[in-house]
Structure 1
Amino acid sequence: MSISFPAGPWESWTEEQCIEALRQARWPDGFRCPVCQYPHCSVIRTRRHPLYVCSSCRHQTSVTAGTAMHGTRTPLRHWFRAMQWLGDESTSVELARILGVTYKTAWLIGQKLRDALTLEADAKKLSGDVAVTGGVYGWRCYSSLIPEPTDQPIVIGAEMNGESVLFVKLVQMDLRLAGNSRLLTRYVYDVYSELHVQTAFKMVKTFPLSRDAQPEASIGRLNARHELVRPYASRSWTEAFAGLFESSIVRS
Protein backbone atom coordinates (compact mmCIF):
# COMPACT_ATOMS: atom_id res chain seq x y z
CA MET A 1 0.00 0.00 0.00
CA SER A 2 1.32 3.45 -0.91
CA ILE A 3 0.90 6.58 1.14
CA SER A 4 1.81 10.16 0.35
CA PHE A 5 3.17 13.13 2.22
CA PRO A 6 3.01 16.90 1.63
CA ALA A 7 4.62 18.20 -1.54
CA GLY A 8 7.86 20.21 -1.51
CA PRO A 9 9.76 22.45 -1.49
CA TRP A 10 11.61 20.93 1.46
CA GLU A 11 14.92 22.86 1.40
CA SER A 12 14.26 24.56 4.73
CA TRP A 13 12.71 21.61 6.55
CA THR A 14 14.30 20.46 9.79
CA GLU A 15 14.81 16.82 10.74
CA GLU A 16 11.83 17.05 13.11
CA GLN A 17 9.58 18.35 10.33
CA CYS A 18 10.59 15.46 8.07
CA ILE A 19 9.88 12.92 10.82
CA GLU A 20 6.49 14.49 11.52
CA ALA A 21 5.60 14.49 7.81
CA LEU A 22 6.43 10.79 7.57
CA ARG A 23 4.47 10.04 10.74
CA GLN A 24 1.39 11.86 9.45
CA ALA A 25 1.69 10.11 6.09
CA ARG A 26 2.01 6.66 7.62
CA TRP A 27 -0.67 7.10 10.29
CA PRO A 28 -3.03 9.94 9.26
CA ASP A 29 -5.65 8.71 11.75
CA GLY A 30 -3.24 7.92 14.55
CA PHE A 31 -0.87 5.04 15.25
CA ARG A 32 -1.85 1.55 14.12
CA CYS A 33 0.42 -1.40 14.74
CA PRO A 34 1.36 -2.93 11.36
CA VAL A 35 1.10 -6.40 12.92
CA CYS A 36 -2.02 -6.40 15.12
CA GLN A 37 -3.57 -2.99 14.28
CA TYR A 38 -3.62 -1.99 17.97
CA PRO A 39 -4.04 1.82 18.25
CA HIS A 40 -1.77 2.51 21.24
CA CYS A 41 2.00 2.56 21.57
CA SER A 42 4.91 3.85 23.59
CA VAL A 43 7.67 5.89 21.96
CA ILE A 44 11.41 5.48 22.42
CA ARG A 45 13.10 8.77 21.57
CA THR A 46 16.72 7.92 22.37
CA ARG A 47 17.42 6.70 18.83
CA ARG A 48 18.12 8.65 15.66
CA HIS A 49 14.44 8.32 14.71
CA PRO A 50 11.56 7.66 17.15
CA LEU A 51 10.80 3.98 17.70
CA TYR A 52 7.15 3.08 18.22
CA VAL A 53 6.46 0.03 20.40
CA CYS A 54 2.98 -1.51 20.18
CA SER A 55 1.36 -1.68 23.63
CA SER A 56 -0.29 -4.99 22.73
CA CYS A 57 2.13 -7.21 20.79
CA ARG A 58 5.29 -5.17 21.53
CA HIS A 59 6.17 -4.96 17.84
CA GLN A 60 8.62 -2.14 17.12
CA THR A 61 8.40 0.08 14.06
CA SER A 62 9.51 3.51 12.88
CA VAL A 63 8.41 6.14 10.39
CA THR A 64 10.98 4.89 7.87
CA ALA A 65 10.23 1.15 8.19
CA GLY A 66 9.53 -0.42 4.81
CA THR A 67 10.65 2.66 2.88
CA ALA A 68 13.70 3.53 0.82
CA MET A 69 14.93 5.43 3.89
CA HIS A 70 14.82 2.46 6.26
CA GLY A 71 18.03 2.08 8.25
CA THR A 72 19.62 5.17 6.75
CA ARG A 73 22.23 7.17 8.66
CA THR A 74 21.78 10.10 6.33
CA PRO A 75 19.56 12.87 7.74
CA LEU A 76 16.00 12.66 6.45
CA ARG A 77 16.13 16.28 5.33
CA HIS A 78 18.71 15.21 2.70
CA TRP A 79 16.33 12.52 1.43
CA PHE A 80 13.49 15.02 1.13
CA ARG A 81 15.68 17.46 -0.78
CA ALA A 82 16.91 14.63 -3.00
CA MET A 83 13.32 13.77 -3.95
CA GLN A 84 12.83 17.28 -5.21
CA TRP A 85 16.15 17.59 -7.04
CA LEU A 86 15.87 14.17 -8.68
CA GLY A 87 12.59 15.37 -10.12
CA ASP A 88 14.70 17.99 -11.93
CA GLU A 89 16.91 15.23 -13.37
CA SER A 90 19.97 16.05 -11.29
CA THR A 91 22.96 13.71 -11.61
CA SER A 92 24.65 12.07 -8.62
CA VAL A 93 27.52 14.57 -8.89
CA GLU A 94 25.10 17.50 -8.79
CA LEU A 95 23.11 15.90 -5.99
CA ALA A 96 26.26 15.38 -3.90
CA ARG A 97 27.11 19.06 -4.29
CA ILE A 98 23.58 20.22 -3.47
CA LEU A 99 23.21 18.03 -0.37
CA GLY A 100 26.78 18.40 0.84
CA VAL A 101 27.36 14.63 0.94
CA THR A 102 29.79 12.26 -0.76
CA TYR A 103 29.21 11.03 -4.28
CA LYS A 104 28.68 7.50 -2.95
CA THR A 105 25.93 8.68 -0.60
CA ALA A 106 24.25 10.77 -3.30
CA TRP A 107 24.36 7.86 -5.75
CA LEU A 108 22.85 5.46 -3.19
CA ILE A 109 20.05 7.89 -2.31
CA GLY A 110 19.24 8.43 -5.97
CA GLN A 111 19.29 4.72 -6.72
CA LYS A 112 16.96 3.86 -3.85
CA LEU A 113 14.53 6.61 -4.80
CA ARG A 114 14.45 5.48 -8.42
CA ASP A 115 13.94 1.87 -7.36
CA ALA A 116 10.98 2.93 -5.21
CA LEU A 117 9.56 4.89 -8.13
CA THR A 118 9.90 1.86 -10.39
CA LEU A 119 8.12 -0.40 -7.90
CA GLU A 120 5.20 2.02 -7.69
CA ALA A 121 4.91 2.31 -11.46
CA ASP A 122 5.11 -1.46 -11.94
CA ALA A 123 2.28 -2.03 -9.48
CA LYS A 124 -0.16 0.29 -11.27
CA LYS A 125 -2.10 -0.73 -14.37
CA LEU A 126 -3.38 1.73 -16.94
CA SER A 127 -7.15 2.00 -17.21
CA GLY A 128 -9.84 4.09 -18.83
CA ASP A 129 -8.85 5.85 -22.07
CA VAL A 130 -5.42 4.38 -22.85
CA ALA A 131 -3.11 5.02 -25.82
CA VAL A 132 -0.08 2.81 -26.40
CA THR A 133 2.85 3.28 -28.77
CA GLY A 134 6.29 1.78 -29.20
CA GLY A 135 9.61 2.36 -30.85
CA VAL A 136 13.36 2.23 -30.47
CA TYR A 137 15.26 4.72 -28.33
CA GLY A 138 18.84 5.23 -29.51
CA TRP A 139 18.01 4.25 -33.10
CA ARG A 140 20.18 5.90 -35.76
CA CYS A 141 18.50 7.13 -38.92
CA TYR A 142 21.21 5.70 -41.18
CA SER A 143 22.00 2.52 -39.29
CA SER A 144 21.65 -1.00 -40.68
CA LEU A 145 18.63 -3.20 -40.14
CA ILE A 146 20.61 -5.26 -37.62
CA PRO A 147 19.89 -4.15 -34.03
CA GLU A 148 22.82 -2.49 -32.28
CA PRO A 149 23.68 -2.54 -28.54
CA THR A 150 22.60 1.11 -28.28
CA ASP A 151 19.10 0.33 -29.54
CA GLN A 152 16.54 0.26 -26.72
CA PRO A 153 13.07 -0.96 -27.79
CA ILE A 154 10.42 0.62 -25.57
CA VAL A 155 6.64 0.67 -25.20
CA ILE A 156 4.92 3.77 -23.82
CA GLY A 157 1.37 3.71 -22.51
CA ALA A 158 -0.56 6.84 -21.54
CA GLU A 159 -3.69 6.90 -19.39
CA MET A 160 -5.79 9.78 -20.66
CA ASN A 161 -8.66 11.84 -19.32
CA GLY A 162 -9.85 14.10 -22.09
CA GLU A 163 -6.99 16.52 -22.74
CA SER A 164 -5.03 15.49 -19.64
CA VAL A 165 -2.47 12.74 -19.12
CA LEU A 166 -3.05 10.96 -15.82
CA PHE A 167 -0.28 8.38 -15.85
CA VAL A 168 2.46 7.14 -18.17
CA LYS A 169 4.21 3.75 -18.19
CA LEU A 170 7.40 3.12 -20.14
CA VAL A 171 8.67 -0.46 -20.46
CA GLN A 172 11.91 -1.63 -22.06
CA MET A 173 11.65 -4.69 -24.30
CA ASP A 174 14.06 -7.30 -25.62
CA LEU A 175 16.64 -5.96 -28.08
CA ARG A 176 15.49 -8.50 -30.68
CA LEU A 177 12.28 -6.48 -31.08
CA ALA A 178 14.19 -3.41 -32.28
CA GLY A 179 13.03 -2.35 -35.73
CA ASN A 180 10.55 -5.23 -36.10
CA SER A 181 7.08 -3.70 -36.13
CA ARG A 182 5.36 -7.10 -36.33
CA LEU A 183 7.07 -8.45 -33.20
CA LEU A 184 6.60 -5.10 -31.47
CA THR A 185 2.85 -5.15 -32.12
CA ARG A 186 2.61 -8.73 -30.90
CA TYR A 187 4.50 -7.82 -27.74
CA VAL A 188 2.17 -4.89 -27.04
CA TYR A 189 -1.00 -6.95 -27.40
CA ASP A 190 0.25 -10.18 -25.82
CA VAL A 191 2.60 -9.00 -23.06
CA TYR A 192 2.30 -5.28 -22.34
CA SER A 193 -1.50 -5.29 -22.34
CA GLU A 194 -1.60 -8.28 -19.99
CA LEU A 195 0.84 -6.85 -17.46
CA HIS A 196 0.20 -3.12 -17.61
CA VAL A 197 -3.29 -2.35 -19.01
CA GLN A 198 -6.66 -3.13 -17.43
CA THR A 199 -8.93 -1.93 -20.23
CA ALA A 200 -9.04 -1.89 -24.03
CA PHE A 201 -6.61 0.50 -25.72
CA LYS A 202 -5.67 1.87 -29.11
CA MET A 203 -2.26 1.11 -30.61
CA VAL A 204 -0.47 4.10 -32.16
CA LYS A 205 1.91 3.72 -35.12
CA THR A 206 5.48 2.76 -34.19
CA PHE A 207 8.14 5.45 -34.39
CA PRO A 208 11.93 5.98 -34.37
CA LEU A 209 13.51 8.03 -31.58
CA SER A 210 16.56 10.17 -32.20
CA ARG A 211 19.91 8.77 -31.05
CA ASP A 212 21.27 11.92 -29.45
CA ALA A 213 18.06 13.01 -27.70
CA GLN A 214 17.41 12.61 -24.00
CA PRO A 215 14.43 10.35 -23.13
CA GLU A 216 12.24 13.28 -22.09
CA ALA A 217 13.00 15.16 -25.31
CA SER A 218 12.32 12.08 -27.42
CA ILE A 219 8.98 11.47 -25.76
CA GLY A 220 8.15 15.13 -26.23
CA ARG A 221 8.76 14.79 -29.97
CA LEU A 222 6.73 11.59 -30.04
CA ASN A 223 3.74 13.18 -28.38
CA ALA A 224 3.89 16.18 -30.68
CA ARG A 225 3.54 13.82 -33.66
CA HIS A 226 0.75 11.58 -32.41
CA GLU A 227 -2.61 13.10 -31.67
CA LEU A 228 -3.67 10.62 -28.99
CA VAL A 229 -0.85 11.61 -26.68
CA ARG A 230 -0.34 15.19 -27.85
CA PRO A 231 -1.43 16.84 -24.54
CA TYR A 232 1.58 15.26 -22.86
CA ALA A 233 3.93 17.28 -25.08
CA SER A 234 3.18 20.40 -23.05
CA ARG A 235 4.38 18.72 -19.88
CA SER A 236 7.98 17.88 -19.10
CA TRP A 237 9.24 14.44 -18.11
CA THR A 238 9.85 15.88 -14.64
CA GLU A 239 6.30 17.18 -14.22
CA ALA A 240 4.81 13.88 -15.30
CA PHE A 241 6.84 11.73 -12.96
CA ALA A 242 7.66 14.00 -9.99
CA GLY A 243 4.30 13.23 -8.40
CA LEU A 244 5.17 9.55 -8.31
CA PHE A 245 7.97 10.22 -5.86
CA GLU A 246 5.49 11.43 -3.26
CA SER A 247 3.37 8.28 -3.46
CA SER A 248 6.09 5.67 -3.91
CA ILE A 249 8.89 6.54 -1.51
CA VAL A 250 6.90 5.89 1.66
CA ARG A 251 5.46 2.38 1.72
CA SER A 252 3.90 0.52 4.61
Structure 2
Amino acid sequence: MTYAFPPGGLPDQTGDPAANGAIFTAAYALIPAAVQRDIVTSLLPRWERTRAWILARPLSGFAETFAQLAVEVEAGGGSEDPEPDFHAEGVLFVAEGEGRLWAAGGHHALTAGSYAYLPPGRPWAIRATTRLRLHWIRRRYIPVDGLAVPEFLLTSDAQTPVNWMPGTEQWGTTRFVDPQDLRHDMHVNIVTFRPGGRIPFAETHVMEHGLYVLEGTARYLLNDRWHEVGPGDFMWLRAFCPQACIATGDGPFRYLLYKDVNRHPALTFRGAP
Protein backbone atom coordinates (compact mmCIF):
# COMPACT_ATOMS: atom_id res chain seq x y z
CA MET A 1 0.00 0.00 0.00
CA THR A 2 1.23 3.48 -0.85
CA TYR A 3 0.00 6.74 0.67
CA ALA A 4 0.24 10.20 -0.83
CA PHE A 5 2.32 12.99 0.66
CA PRO A 6 3.21 16.54 -0.45
CA PRO A 7 5.51 16.39 -3.49
CA GLY A 8 7.78 19.27 -2.47
CA GLY A 9 10.21 20.57 -5.03
CA LEU A 10 9.34 23.43 -7.35
CA PRO A 11 7.58 23.37 -10.73
CA ASP A 12 9.31 24.82 -13.77
CA GLN A 13 8.66 28.30 -15.14
CA THR A 14 6.01 27.23 -17.65
CA GLY A 15 2.29 26.77 -17.17
CA ASP A 16 -0.56 28.72 -15.67
CA PRO A 17 -0.34 29.08 -11.86
CA ALA A 18 -4.12 29.30 -11.61
CA ALA A 19 -4.55 25.93 -13.35
CA ASN A 20 -3.70 23.96 -10.20
CA GLY A 21 -7.20 24.54 -8.87
CA ALA A 22 -6.36 25.89 -5.40
CA ILE A 23 -9.35 27.67 -3.90
CA PHE A 24 -10.33 29.23 -0.58
CA THR A 25 -13.96 30.08 0.13
CA ALA A 26 -16.07 30.92 3.17
CA ALA A 27 -17.12 27.24 3.38
CA TYR A 28 -14.01 25.25 2.38
CA ALA A 29 -10.46 25.30 1.10
CA LEU A 30 -8.98 23.01 -1.54
CA ILE A 31 -5.18 22.79 -1.40
CA PRO A 32 -4.05 20.59 -4.31
CA ALA A 33 -0.91 18.47 -4.11
CA ALA A 34 0.57 20.58 -6.92
CA VAL A 35 0.85 23.61 -4.62
CA GLN A 36 2.35 21.74 -1.65
CA ARG A 37 5.90 22.79 -2.56
CA ASP A 38 9.19 23.46 -0.78
CA ILE A 39 8.64 27.20 -0.33
CA VAL A 40 5.53 26.72 1.82
CA THR A 41 7.14 24.47 4.45
CA SER A 42 7.92 25.43 8.04
CA LEU A 43 10.51 24.28 10.54
CA LEU A 44 9.21 23.14 13.93
CA PRO A 45 10.79 24.10 17.27
CA ARG A 46 12.39 21.16 19.10
CA TRP A 47 12.24 19.00 15.96
CA GLU A 48 15.53 18.12 14.24
CA ARG A 49 16.07 17.55 10.50
CA THR A 50 12.35 18.09 9.97
CA ARG A 51 10.10 20.25 7.82
CA ALA A 52 6.32 20.46 7.76
CA TRP A 53 3.49 21.53 5.50
CA ILE A 54 0.91 23.15 7.78
CA LEU A 55 -2.30 22.41 5.92
CA ALA A 56 -4.85 23.55 8.52
CA ARG A 57 -4.88 25.43 11.79
CA PRO A 58 -7.70 26.80 13.96
CA LEU A 59 -9.07 29.81 12.08
CA SER A 60 -11.73 32.03 13.62
CA GLY A 61 -14.97 31.94 11.66
CA PHE A 62 -13.84 28.96 9.60
CA ALA A 63 -12.69 25.63 11.08
CA GLU A 64 -11.65 26.11 14.69
CA THR A 65 -11.01 22.72 16.30
CA PHE A 66 -7.82 21.25 14.80
CA ALA A 67 -4.47 21.60 13.08
CA GLN A 68 -3.21 19.25 10.38
CA LEU A 69 0.41 18.91 9.26
CA ALA A 70 2.34 16.77 6.80
CA VAL A 71 5.72 16.20 8.45
CA GLU A 72 8.89 15.01 6.71
CA VAL A 73 11.73 13.81 8.97
CA GLU A 74 15.13 12.92 7.55
CA ALA A 75 16.91 9.78 8.77
CA GLY A 76 18.19 10.41 12.28
CA GLY A 77 15.87 13.36 12.79
CA GLY A 78 12.90 13.67 15.09
CA SER A 79 12.09 15.13 18.48
CA GLU A 80 12.32 14.29 22.16
CA ASP A 81 9.68 16.94 22.97
CA PRO A 82 7.46 17.19 19.88
CA GLU A 83 4.15 18.55 21.23
CA PRO A 84 4.22 22.13 22.60
CA ASP A 85 0.66 22.08 24.00
CA PHE A 86 0.17 20.02 27.18
CA HIS A 87 -3.58 19.76 26.49
CA ALA A 88 -3.24 18.56 22.89
CA GLU A 89 -4.06 15.06 21.72
CA GLY A 90 -2.73 13.84 18.40
CA VAL A 91 -2.86 11.24 15.68
CA LEU A 92 0.12 10.20 13.58
CA PHE A 93 -0.42 8.33 10.31
CA VAL A 94 2.72 7.20 8.47
CA ALA A 95 2.72 7.65 4.71
CA GLU A 96 6.27 6.45 4.02
CA GLY A 97 9.45 5.31 5.72
CA GLU A 98 10.39 3.83 9.06
CA GLY A 99 10.92 5.18 12.54
CA ARG A 100 10.59 4.63 16.27
CA LEU A 101 7.94 6.11 18.53
CA TRP A 102 8.41 6.32 22.29
CA ALA A 103 5.08 6.50 24.10
CA ALA A 104 3.31 4.90 27.08
CA GLY A 105 6.63 3.73 28.50
CA GLY A 106 7.74 1.73 25.48
CA HIS A 107 9.36 1.93 22.06
CA HIS A 108 7.26 1.14 19.00
CA ALA A 109 8.16 0.58 15.35
CA LEU A 110 6.57 2.83 12.72
CA THR A 111 6.16 1.83 9.08
CA ALA A 112 3.94 2.93 6.21
CA GLY A 113 0.32 2.60 7.32
CA SER A 114 1.05 2.88 11.06
CA TYR A 115 -1.56 4.78 13.08
CA ALA A 116 -0.86 6.16 16.56
CA TYR A 117 -3.25 7.94 18.92
CA LEU A 118 -1.39 10.18 21.39
CA PRO A 119 -3.35 11.18 24.53
CA PRO A 120 -3.11 14.70 25.95
CA GLY A 121 -0.65 15.42 28.72
CA ARG A 122 1.43 12.28 28.06
CA PRO A 123 5.04 12.53 26.86
CA TRP A 124 6.11 11.02 23.56
CA ALA A 125 9.11 11.16 21.26
CA ILE A 126 9.85 10.15 17.68
CA ARG A 127 12.98 9.35 15.68
CA ALA A 128 13.27 8.51 11.97
CA THR A 129 15.23 5.42 10.93
CA THR A 130 14.86 6.22 7.23
CA ARG A 131 13.24 9.33 5.76
CA LEU A 132 9.88 9.33 7.53
CA ARG A 133 6.80 11.04 6.11
CA LEU A 134 3.75 11.26 8.30
CA HIS A 135 0.45 13.08 8.72
CA TRP A 136 -0.01 14.69 12.14
CA ILE A 137 -3.42 15.86 13.38
CA ARG A 138 -3.56 17.88 16.61
CA ARG A 139 -6.50 18.99 18.71
CA ARG A 140 -7.14 20.45 22.17
CA TYR A 141 -8.76 17.61 24.10
CA ILE A 142 -12.13 18.34 25.74
CA PRO A 143 -12.33 16.43 29.06
CA VAL A 144 -15.62 15.23 30.54
CA ASP A 145 -16.19 14.54 34.24
CA GLY A 146 -16.48 10.81 34.77
CA LEU A 147 -14.76 9.87 31.50
CA ALA A 148 -11.12 8.85 31.53
CA VAL A 149 -8.69 10.15 28.97
CA PRO A 150 -8.18 7.60 26.15
CA GLU A 151 -5.07 5.45 26.27
CA PHE A 152 -2.21 5.45 23.78
CA LEU A 153 -3.02 3.30 20.76
CA LEU A 154 -0.79 1.94 18.01
CA THR A 155 -2.30 0.01 15.15
CA SER A 156 -2.17 0.12 11.35
CA ASP A 157 -4.24 0.35 8.21
CA ALA A 158 -3.40 -3.29 7.41
CA GLN A 159 -4.61 -4.47 10.83
CA THR A 160 -7.93 -2.61 10.73
CA PRO A 161 -10.84 -3.79 8.56
CA VAL A 162 -13.04 -1.56 6.45
CA ASN A 163 -16.56 -1.18 7.85
CA TRP A 164 -18.80 -1.00 4.79
CA MET A 165 -21.85 1.21 4.88
CA PRO A 166 -25.26 -0.49 5.23
CA GLY A 167 -26.42 -2.02 1.97
CA THR A 168 -23.18 -1.49 0.03
CA GLU A 169 -19.56 -2.58 -0.22
CA GLN A 170 -18.68 0.40 -2.41
CA TRP A 171 -18.21 2.90 0.44
CA GLY A 172 -16.72 2.17 3.85
CA THR A 173 -14.66 3.47 6.75
CA THR A 174 -11.55 2.17 8.49
CA ARG A 175 -12.26 3.11 12.11
CA PHE A 176 -9.14 2.94 14.27
CA VAL A 177 -11.05 3.63 17.50
CA ASP A 178 -14.47 2.40 18.57
CA PRO A 179 -17.06 5.03 17.53
CA GLN A 180 -19.03 4.17 20.70
CA ASP A 181 -16.10 5.13 22.94
CA LEU A 182 -17.15 8.53 24.28
CA ARG A 183 -13.72 9.21 25.70
CA HIS A 184 -12.68 10.19 22.18
CA ASP A 185 -13.69 13.68 21.05
CA MET A 186 -12.26 13.27 17.56
CA HIS A 187 -12.10 10.51 14.98
CA VAL A 188 -9.34 10.16 12.41
CA ASN A 189 -10.41 7.48 9.96
CA ILE A 190 -9.67 6.33 6.43
CA VAL A 191 -12.63 6.45 4.05
CA THR A 192 -12.54 4.07 1.07
CA PHE A 193 -14.57 4.05 -2.14
CA ARG A 194 -14.36 1.36 -4.76
CA PRO A 195 -14.59 2.56 -8.38
CA GLY A 196 -18.02 4.10 -8.89
CA GLY A 197 -18.74 4.25 -5.16
CA ARG A 198 -20.24 7.42 -3.85
CA ILE A 199 -21.64 9.42 -0.98
CA PRO A 200 -25.22 9.38 -2.28
CA PHE A 201 -26.38 12.62 -0.63
CA ALA A 202 -24.89 15.99 0.24
CA GLU A 203 -23.65 15.53 3.82
CA THR A 204 -24.35 18.73 5.76
CA HIS A 205 -23.34 18.54 9.41
CA VAL A 206 -21.74 20.30 12.36
CA MET A 207 -18.44 18.39 12.20
CA GLU A 208 -15.37 20.06 10.74
CA HIS A 209 -13.22 18.05 8.35
CA GLY A 210 -9.71 17.68 7.11
CA LEU A 211 -9.53 15.27 4.15
CA TYR A 212 -6.14 14.27 2.75
CA VAL A 213 -6.40 12.10 -0.37
CA LEU A 214 -4.15 9.07 0.11
CA GLU A 215 -4.92 7.24 -3.11
CA GLY A 216 -7.09 7.35 -6.24
CA THR A 217 -9.30 9.96 -7.87
CA ALA A 218 -12.83 11.28 -7.45
CA ARG A 219 -15.24 14.07 -8.16
CA TYR A 220 -15.89 15.75 -4.83
CA LEU A 221 -18.76 18.12 -4.08
CA LEU A 222 -17.75 21.00 -1.80
CA ASN A 223 -20.56 23.40 -0.96
CA ASP A 224 -22.12 23.93 -4.43
CA ARG A 225 -19.20 23.01 -6.72
CA TRP A 226 -17.73 19.72 -7.97
CA HIS A 227 -13.93 19.35 -7.96
CA GLU A 228 -11.68 16.72 -9.52
CA VAL A 229 -9.35 15.49 -6.76
CA GLY A 230 -6.49 13.02 -6.58
CA PRO A 231 -3.52 11.82 -4.49
CA GLY A 232 -2.11 14.48 -2.18
CA ASP A 233 -5.00 16.92 -2.49
CA PHE A 234 -6.23 18.34 0.81
CA MET A 235 -9.79 19.49 1.51
CA TRP A 236 -10.49 21.63 4.58
CA LEU A 237 -14.17 22.00 5.48
CA ARG A 238 -15.85 24.22 8.03
CA ALA A 239 -19.00 23.07 9.80
CA PHE A 240 -22.13 22.64 7.63
CA CYS A 241 -20.28 22.70 4.29
CA PRO A 242 -22.24 20.28 2.04
CA GLN A 243 -20.12 17.45 0.65
CA ALA A 244 -20.51 14.39 -1.52
CA CYS A 245 -18.23 12.13 -3.55
CA ILE A 246 -18.17 9.98 -6.68
CA ALA A 247 -15.05 7.78 -7.07
CA THR A 248 -13.50 7.72 -10.52
CA GLY A 249 -10.66 5.71 -12.01
CA ASP A 250 -9.93 1.99 -11.92
CA GLY A 251 -8.73 1.67 -8.33
CA PRO A 252 -9.91 2.62 -4.85
CA PHE A 253 -10.26 6.23 -3.74
CA ARG A 254 -9.12 6.71 -0.14
CA TYR A 255 -8.64 9.69 2.14
CA LEU A 256 -7.59 10.34 5.73
CA LEU A 257 -10.49 12.06 7.50
CA TYR A 258 -10.59 14.17 10.66
CA LYS A 259 -13.85 15.07 12.38
CA ASP A 260 -14.83 16.38 15.83
CA VAL A 261 -17.39 14.21 17.64
CA ASN A 262 -18.92 13.13 20.94
CA ARG A 263 -19.16 16.44 22.79
CA HIS A 264 -21.95 18.90 23.56
CA PRO A 265 -21.71 22.11 21.52
CA ALA A 266 -20.17 24.87 23.59
CA LEU A 267 -22.64 27.60 24.57
CA THR A 268 -20.66 30.80 24.71
CA PHE A 269 -22.46 34.12 24.95
CA ARG A 270 -20.90 37.49 24.41
CA GLY A 271 -20.32 39.12 27.78
CA ALA A 272 -20.94 35.93 29.79
CA PRO A 273 -18.59 35.42 32.76
Q: Shared fold (TM-score greater than 0.5)?
A: no
Normalised to the residue count of structure 2, the TM-score between the two structures is 0.25
Structure with the bigger RCO (C-alpha within 8 Å, sep 6+) is 1
Normalised to the residue count of structure 1, the TM-score between the two structures is 0.26
**Is the helix fraction higher in 1 or 2?**
1
Of structures 1 and 2, the larger Rg is shown by 1
